[in-house]
Structure 1
């Protein structure tokens, strides 16, 4: 963890180069601000048929850690918001969900 899932309208999926740049920036935010181990960072793009609301939606799931304070999460979301706008041209609704390690059960 963290796991970032970006839902982007199928007709506005950015170029491969822009997705690569967005992936790199998201990775930097996760390993920098959130201090995540690189091997634990997962970034997924899902092409969707947009119905209503912001043109893009981002769901971030992360493990609660002492360094992931409200101010750290605010800085992370601000950086994520800027990166999404820069590399996709879209405004995204961003939602972050923290989970205690004791409530996580995972494989691979």
Structure 2
């Protein structure tokens, strides 16, 4: 259980907690804004955090963080229920921006124009 004045008290467990620790606790992803919960598809788990970060876990992919504009794009598509499925990587640097991989594609963010592109595989 973790608490902050702005987000209240929320539970984090297992792989999601381990990923949160890897990211630097509250100085990385921020404080949790949700309890660890089961998403609508009933398969995985997730927590949302104050620093515009979500950590999603599924048995097939393990825990991965989705951040910022890439997170916003994935959310607009329907999170894990979208055609992309669950994240299969943390966000990482690519020339000119950032990328997050998902079970069925990826989202890239281009820094030059602050846009995202969804690619299905």
TM-score, reference length from structure 2: 0.24
Structure of greater relative contact order (alpha carbons < 8 Å, 6+ residues apart): 1
Q: Give 1 or 2: higher strand fraction.
A: 2
Q: Give 1 or 2: higher helix fraction.
A: 1
TM-score, reference length from structure 1: 0.26
